A and B are shown apart, each in its own frame.
Chain A
């Protein structure tokens, strides 16, 4: 039986405001993230003795190069290339580090720049399998991969574009209450449906917009957080899995389906106890898979679940309460942090006018790395209000 995550606190939710394109390097975005963490926590640089970094555009540097770049001397350092699962994985590693005393305060940061040409370059060399067996086929990037999954899901489980649209429209409404969201205009279902096709059946509003930005939070023990007078949320349980179900001919489930029972057992809670859910939402179909695989409904029932719930912050199932990547933007690896950082805000009463009423517990899920035909990494974490 693995050790529980008791006594781990997450604090200081930071979003470095996104922009569509930036002429700065990834280091600039990560530097701002660290500087915000220090400013809010009132910690000195020397007190950050742990650092976890995720970024697609930091090359040729890695986390260790960043320490010299930023003048940090951590005794615990991680570089996590897990894309959309980076947030949960960083949390898991950092939680164990502070439990074991290898570090006292771990700064988890993720961020990327976005030059006009960077997205194309990232795609062409994303992975060996992508370069050999996906990119030469039309160079559609993740749009093409998720088009396959979406088309197959729609055919198999009867989801409609209206179902996906309902999530996108609700998330846009949430985003309008999040000052850092790049999308500032409301979205109607009509606009969603008539948007231009990108990769059938995906249309414009099904696809995240790549941008530059950074997200960050601190991990430490509850005692440490209390001694620093920081608002924090408690970590109740967390899971990760890579390359789950490798023999499925096409991805209709992620690693959550393997590990969710353990997740809820660690937390001592059930799906119905969650006051909000932050899914990884680079494309809406993945949110549907997470609803199913995390036990909010059975496999194939997400379309019905969507039809019978509302997903705004004041709805009966608040989902992606800051707007998700679909309405905030996808700042590279920071996309895997967005929901986690928002969950900390929700559970520490820092979510402003999008605060979910009486939020006591929430679930955050991550998903990443379309290495070939499917996302390989999945993770999830449950947090509770103090």
Chain B
């Protein structure tokens, strides 16, 4: 039933580019719990802390015991498709452009009945299905049902709307010099990216790994210095209207905090790359990508930022770096809001220490560039927007969510 993803036809420049539309994005505040979990790739439903009842749609109180003590808990992801329909009519522009659209009513094994988007590989009801929560183009969670856990999202016409799969897409990676940049390029090439523009800030120099990069057929090296407004502007003028996925991995990282360093030059350099670099890229590439949110099967879909788990809480031994990542995180939230009308997803990566030069003195575990690159590509495929890859990031996140003040004290000792 699934249709293989085929290479999109070359664009006819004379034809009008369709403007992006979004699925209905209004949600009550309580329903955003589904979105919060889906943003990290989890399927969670409201569960009562007093009687244990699991409920959906989200409510302000437990429908069994009226307790107000509700929390979002990870649930089993299986159920039975009770009934299905194929819509041939919709009241909404987004769906109207995508008819026919298949939907189902699924009785979850954990209790509630849910309405879900159906993968075309699912047989007629009654049949067992796998469910998950995904972000749609409006950035809000929806429940989708697939034949099983391993079903390919991108190869289904409807499911593709919830993913940003790099296959057949044109990608800009802003820094090809770092080990992470090279790992990202390899992962994207392996995932079937059509074209990968790779920025290097000092084009007159040959960097380690340069020859290997040149061997990857999709790669084109291009000069790009994110601290130079002119450089960013010129590149955007050249390829801005073609980039489907922008991966901003350029970063400047030095250790130390405040008292062990004299002057502001290092901190300024960190801000110039990590914060202003993102701002320059966003100002130059953002408008073009926003205009191409519905540009056929391979329109602009995603913007990936390399942040850091230190963006959540300052890590004093890398204090100024943490501050620049916190600034970038805040700016990325602004970018997410501004890209939303086009349905372009902003994916933020919050890794713990990467196993590279500037984290030399940090104790393991450290995240290998390859694992981080794989997490980034998986996030694009699965429609995740906040990625906390690796054990350190997961642990920091848990400590931060549990008690941010405690984490601050722990990090300062």
Contact = CB atoms under 8 A, between A and B. Distances in A.
Interface stretch (A142-150, A163-171, A342-350): A142-150
Contacts of A124: 24, 26, 91-92
A199 B86 contact: yes
B380 interface: no
A152 B113 CA distance: 14
B86 A139 contact: no
Interface string B70-83: 00000000000011
A140 B91 contact: yes
A372 interface: yes
Contacts of B85: 140, 144, 147-148, 151, 199-202
Interface string A235-252: 000000000001001100
Interface residues of B, number: 40
Nearest to B114: A133
20 contacts: A124-B24, A124-B91, A129-B57, A131-B24, A131-B26, A135-B24, A136-B138, A139-B24, A139-B92, A140-B87, A147-B83, A148-B84, A151-B83, A152-B83, A152-B125, A155-B83, A196-B88, A200-B85, A250-B83, A373-B105
A205 to B, nearest CB: 14
Contacts of B25: 136
Interface in A102-159: 119-120, 123-125, 128-129, 131-141, 143-144, 147-149, 151-152, 155
Given A124-B24, A148-B84, A249-B82, A133 B91 contact: no
Nearest to B99: A138
User: By DSSP majority rule, is chain A's interface helix, strand, loop, or mixed?
Assistant: mixed
A140 B90 contact: yes
A88 to B, nearest CB: 25
Given A199-B88, A250-B107, A137 B115 contact: yes
A198 B91 contact: no
Contacts of B87: 138, 140, 143-144, 198-199
- Size class of A's contact patch? 35 or more
Contact of A139 (B58, B63, B91, B105): B91
A45 B140 CA distance: 51
B91 A123 contact: yes
A373 B113 contact: yes
Contacts of B24: 124, 131, 135-136, 139
A147 to B, nearest CB: 4
A128 B91 contact: no
Contact of B28 (A128, A141, A372): A128
Contact of A133 (B56, B107, B117): B56
A155 B82 CA distance: 10
A133 B57 contact: yes
A159 B132 CA distance: 33
Nearest to A133: B57
Contacts of B95: 138-140
A198 to B, nearest CB: 5
Q: Which 8 A-B pairs have the closest CB atoms?
A: A139-B92, A147-B85, A132-B31, A133-B57, A152-B83, A148-B83, A151-B83, A129-B57
